[in-house]
């Protein structure tokens, strides 16, 4: 909830040719608590960005309303440390790119969007993240080549991994294959499956704990805080789940 608002209107990207930027900048808001109103021809440029930063420091602004382009662009330019709240009002894509230039209704539309942006900056509350409760353990369901690769890559990225395989050993379909199709140039010879080396890599990795001969009984909770119960009775606290449960061969007789 910003107490002191700064409103900045950009006239770049054709906005200045399509709207009365001066009038837009001075738009009246319901409770009129706007401390600074400025417009600039290139708000995302060095000078424009410095003006906003300077006002935050010197005027104590805690809410910045920027009427310019889409909030999806220039995110890095218009980013300020908390508690400064940023509200982007999209008068480029949502107003001047899709409505006639220098038209009374187009101007009113931009002004309404700006009023709504100011109201949001004054009333919105930034929610507190639940970061302490979030668990980052990754559950991989399925110990075939896909699941094993996912488990190893997640562990390499620094995550704890729980790998569940319903059979008594890892490997999945690879256990049934003698060789694999050629994967390296000159693509003439069949290749080893590399299964044993892959399983050893999993077993040697301290971040990966393997559960074989069991399946998922039930999953409760939400992303970041799942409680997953296995058929062997164990319950795991899990942050995210990778489903790698394999495939069934298609019945070619149907073709």
Q: State the residues that interact with ligand SF4 by CB under 6 A.
A: 10, 12-13, 15, 42-44, 68-69, 74, 92
* Pick from 119, 112, 115: nearest CA to 1: 119
Q: Which is nearer to ligand SF4, 72 or 188 (CB)?
A: 72
Residue 54 Cβ vs ligand SF4, minimum distance, rounded to whole Å: 17
Phi, then psi, of 32 in degrees rounded to 5: 55, 25
Residue 57 Cβ vs ligand SF4, minimum distance, rounded to whole Å: 20
Q: Which is nearer to ligand SF4, 67 or 238 (CB)?
A: 67
Q: Which is nearer to ligand SF4, 121 or 155 (CB)?
A: 121
Q: Which is nearer to ligand SF4, 47 or 196 (CB)?
A: 47
Q: How far is CA 226 from CA 15, 221, 236, in A?
A: 48, 4, 8
* Pick from 181, 186, 143, 139: nearest CA to 165: 143
Residue 34 Cβ vs ligand SF4, minimum distance, rounded to whole Å: 19
Q: Name the packing angle between helices 145-156 and 195-204 (round to 10°).
A: 40
- Catalogue the E-assigned strands of 61-125: 63-68, 85-90
Q: Which residue is nearest to ligand SF4 (CB)?
A: 12
Residue 125 Cβ vs ligand SF4, minimum distance, rounded to whole Å: 26
Residue 148 Cβ vs ligand SF4, minimum distance, rounded to whole Å: 46
- Which strand ranges, in their side-by-side order, compose the sheet holding 216-222? 216-222, 225-230, 235-238
Whose structure tokens read 């940023």? 86
Q: Which is nearer to ligand SF4, 36 or 225 (CB)?
A: 36
Q: Is the dihedral of CA 218, 220, 222, 224 positive or negative?
A: negative
Q: Which is nearer to ligand SF4, 68 or 145 (CB)?
A: 68
Residue 55 Cβ vs ligand SF4, minimum distance, rounded to whole Å: 16
């Amino acid at each position: 909830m910003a107490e002191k608002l700064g409103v900045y209107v950009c006239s770049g990207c054709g906005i200045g040719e399509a709207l009365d930027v001066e009038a837009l900048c001075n738009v009246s808001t319901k409770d009129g608590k706007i401390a600074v109103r400025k417009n600039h021809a290139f708000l995302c440029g060095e000078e424009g960005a410095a003006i906003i930063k300077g006002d935050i420091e010197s005027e104590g602004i805690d809410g910045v309303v920027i009427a310019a382009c889409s909030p999806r662009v220039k995110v890095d330019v218009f980013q300020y440390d908390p508690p400064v709240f940023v509200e982007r009002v999209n008068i480029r894509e949502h107003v001047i790119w899709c409505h006639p230039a220098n038209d009374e209704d187009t101007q009113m539309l931009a002004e309404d969007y700006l009023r709504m942006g100011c109201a949001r900056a004054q009333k919105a509350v930034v929610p507190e993240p639940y970061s302490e409760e979030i668990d980052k353990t990754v559950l991989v369901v399925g110990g075939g080549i896909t699941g094993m690769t996912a488990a190893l890559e997640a562990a390499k990225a620094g995550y704890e991994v729980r790998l569940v395989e319903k059979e008594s050993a890892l490997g999945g379909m690879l256990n049934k294959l003698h060789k694999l199709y050629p994967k390296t140039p000159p693509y003439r010879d069949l290749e080893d499956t590399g299964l044993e080396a892959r399983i050893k890599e999993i077993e040697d990795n301290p971040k990966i704990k393997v559960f074989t001969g069991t399946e998922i009984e039930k999953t409760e909770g939400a992303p970041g805080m799942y409680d997953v119960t296995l058929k062997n009775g164990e319950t795991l606290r899990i942050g995210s789940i990778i489903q790698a449960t394999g495939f069934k061969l298609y019945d070619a007789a149907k073709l």
